[in-house]
Each structure stands twice: as structure tokens, then as C-alpha cells.
Amino acid sequence: MEYRIEHDSMGEVKVPADKYWAAQTERSHENFLIGVGIETMPREITHAFGILKKAAAIANHNLKPEKMTDKKLAAISEACDEVIAGKLNDHFPLVVWQTGSGTQSNMNANEVIANRGNEIAGEKLLHPNDDINMSQSSNDTFPTAMHISAVLAIEDKLFPAIDTLVDTFKRLEAENDDVVKSGRTHLQDATPIKFSQEISGWRSSLEKDKEMLKLALPELKQLALGGTAVGTGLNTPKGFDKEVAKAVSELTGKDFITAPNKFHALTSKDELVFAHGALKALAADMMKIANDVRWLASGPRDGLGEIFIPENEPGSSIMPGKVNPTQCEQVTMVAVQVMGNDVAVGMAASQGNFELNVFMPVCIYNFLQSARLLAESIVSFNKNCAIGIKANREKMHHNLHNSLMLVTALNPYIGYENAAKTAKKAFKEGISLKEACVALGFLTEEKFDEVFHPEQMV
């Protein structure tokens, strides 16, 4: 491998000749050999850095054009556009397990954009610190990248996934509005319910989860940029914070604003904790939905068997013909991961000592993993399972009329205690509710038929 010599305030460093990063990135690359190639800083953060560095250059150009010249802005903007498009991902090698402020990832962005910008300009025009990092600090850029990436992940990836599954459930509700089945509570038979009503519970849960995530967005759209090292805004021109938030908004199409209190923005991560709580709520609901689906589809002969789901792949290496509810299983595993991530996000957010939180990389790594996994999991579940759900109407009808809890319909006519005696006699002797009720002398056959209509109990 060929190398070139780069330098920083600590001296000279050998850097791979074909990479745009420089000395500080290389030092981190060598000093933190932890999860290399596996737990790289999320690409959503790289993308966000491209956005915020371009926005910072635009703001600096507006406020102090004598330092951020037209020529510099043009080179930085073109290099940032390549970062945003993911064209330079190979030049961002650093792992999550680095300095807790994300300083080295900020410098990685500064060095890559400077070197690529110089290549575009055809001259040594840009300096990583003086130009790309102008009016900034790692301490306000990394929190800003966290918020930008979180908003984009929720609005552009997770919301469309939720909407797709909600639409599927709406269709299934309409298709199954005439299907009445046995309800279940405590995993025991309960009074009847329409299948469409059961599905509506799934749909409503997802809709409420989306609303809770929406509640978190305004706080996530407040940016730390402009606070620099400790929140005072040292070395920034007046109005930079508002200008840079405006530029980020224009670049993303989202309504970002500057954080009203930069001291809070640098040290607290409560907005991410709050938002991740909504992600955990979504995970909990997806766990419930997936479990309901696999319970209802259990069988094919010795389970509930009340619905059919798509058969996607063989389920066993030893049992021929076995097919498993694998999409439900991936959903439940993702839910477990998100619930674990919630602990990590909360613990990381608790470490805002004095003027800076220094657990930011692990905080956003877990947050973005949760948002990404949920979005992809929901899309997969919808595509490979939910859209193919079909009611086993015959089995639902059989289970409904076999349920002893239909006896609840008799309460107004024979009373709770007599209804309980009827159910126990029917169960003990293996006879129908009608036979038990008539045998006990509580109702005649004619009166029983007059008042007993399971399909009307919904």
C-alpha cells in the first residue's frame, strides 16, 4: 500500500495515499481497533455531517464572506454533496467506540471534505479546521448530526414503513368485517369479537405509535450548532446559529431551528431518550402484533389455526413439510433488540457531565439501529406476511360455537351463578351449552334458541 505524509498538531502521520482522510482520522483509525468493519459510525451520521458542513459553509459565506469566499464555498459544497450522496463512504472508516464527543468523526468529515474540496478546486484551498470547521466545534456538530440523522430516520424511513402496514390492516379490516370469532383474554376463551375488530386494535396501536413519534420531532429539530465548545458560541459570528439552522432546513426540506439553550443542547440528550421511548413503544406493539399473528396461525392441525399466513421457506432440516412463522420471529427479535437499545440510550444520556455529554456515539448508534431495524422489519413483515393473512372462516366458526364463554349471553336471563353452572356442566360432561342449560332447567330449548345468538355479541 502506498502512503502519503499528513500532519496535525501532534506531528506527522502516514495515511493511505488513496484516502481523503488525514492525520487525526488516521490516529483514531489506529488507536481504536474495536469493532472495525462491523461497528463503524452509522452512515446516517456521515450523511448528516455532509449536510451540516455544507450548511455551515453557507452560513459562514453569508456572515463573513471575506473568510468563506465564493471559491471556498463552491468547493466545500461539491465535496459535501458527494458525502451526502454516499459517494465517499469508504473515506469514513472510524468506529463507534472512540472519543465520547465524536470529535474524531467530526475531524474525519473535516479532513475528507477539505482534501476532496482541494482536489475539486485544483489547489490547496481548504484547511480542515480553519475552513470546514469554521464557526464550529465537535461539541456542537456531533449533537447536530445526531438530531439530523434521527429526524431523517424517523420521517423518511420509519413513517413510510408504518403507513404501509397500517394500509394493509385497513384492507384486512374491510375484508373481514363479516367474520365473527372467539375472543381471548389471559390466553383463555372469551366473548366473541369480529376479526376486523381484532385487526383494528393492531392498526390503532401503530397509528398511536406514529403520533407519539411525531410528538418527539419538534425537540429533535432543535440544533446545537452555534454553541461551539461549551455552549457559549465562542468564535462564531453573530446570527450564525440561526443562519446554519435555516441552511440545514433548506438542504433537508425539514423545519429545523436553532436550540434556544445551547448549554442544554451540548450536555443533555433527553430529546433522544424521549424519542427512543416512542421507538420502544412501537417495538412493544410490533411484538404484540407478531405474537398474535403466530398464535392465530399456529398449527396447522394442532394449534389455533384461525388464520393462514404465507409459507415462505421450509421450516425444519429434519421435519419434512414443516413451515414456521419466520416473519413473526424476526419482528419479535427486532423488538427485543430495540428494548435493549433503550437501556443503552438512557444510560448514555445520563452521562452529561458538566458542559458536555461524552457518550454520544453509543447513544446515536443504538438510536439509529432501532429506527433502522424497525423500519426494515415492518416493511419485511408487511411484504412477506401481513398482506397474505387470510381468515380460516370455518375454523373460526367452529371455535366460536365451541367456546364456553358464549354462556355470557345468558347472564341477563338466568343470572351469573346459573350461567357459571351451565358452563361447568357443559365442560365436565363434554356437551353443548344448550344441552347443559336445558338439563339444569334454566331455559327451555325454544327460549335458549331465542336468546342465544353468538354473532350478535360483538
| Alpha-carbon distances, residue 122 vs 71, 113, 115, 129, 332 (angstroms) | 11, 14, 10, 19, 53
Q: For residues 422 and 442, give the distance between their C-alpha atoms in angstroms, rounded to a whole number.
A: 9
In the numeric block, which cell numbers belong to residue 277? 421511548
Give the burial class of 437: count Cβ atoms within 10 A of its Cβ; 0-12 exposed, 13-18 middle, 19 or more buried.
buried
Q: For residues 79 and 125, give the distance between their C-alpha atoms in angstroms, rounded to a whole number.
A: 13
Q: What is the largest CA-CA distance in the chain?
A: 101
- Residue 40: DSSP 8-state: B
Residue 186 is a catalytic residue: yes
186, 276, 350, 370: which is the annotated catalytic residue?
Answer: 186
Nearest to 104 by CA among 133, 134, 70, 147: 133
| Region for residue 223 given its phi and psi (left: phi exceeds 0; alpha: psi -120 to 50; beta: otherwise) | beta
| Alpha-carbon distances, residue 335 vs 44, 166, 273, 287, 450 (angstroms) | 21, 18, 17, 6, 48
Please say whether the beta carbons of 276 and 341 come within 8 A.
Answer: yes
135, 316, 317, 350: which is the annotated catalytic residue?
Answer: 316
Q: Which helix (H) or strand (E) holds 352?
A: strand 352-353
Amino acid at 290: A
SS3 458: coil
Please say whether the beta carbons of 288 and 251 come within 8 A.
Answer: no
Q: For residues 433 and 386, give the distance between their C-alpha atoms in angstroms, rounded to a whole number.
A: 35
Give the burial class of 421: count Cβ atoms within 10 A of its Cβ; 0-12 exposed, 13-18 middle, 19 or more buried.
middle
Bridge pairing between strands 3-8 and 222-223: unpaired
Please say whether the beta carbons of 94 and 110 come within 8 A.
Answer: no
In the numeric block, which cell numbers belong to residue 218? 419538534
In the numeric block, which cell numbers belong to residue 225? 450548532
Beta bridge partners of 390: 308
Please say whether the beta carbons of 438 and 421 come within 8 A.
Answer: no
Amino acid at 71: K
Q: State the sign of the Cα–Cα–Cα–Cα dihedral 12, 17, 20, 25.
A: negative
Cβ atoms within 10 A of the Cβ of 37, count? 7
Active site residues: 186, 316
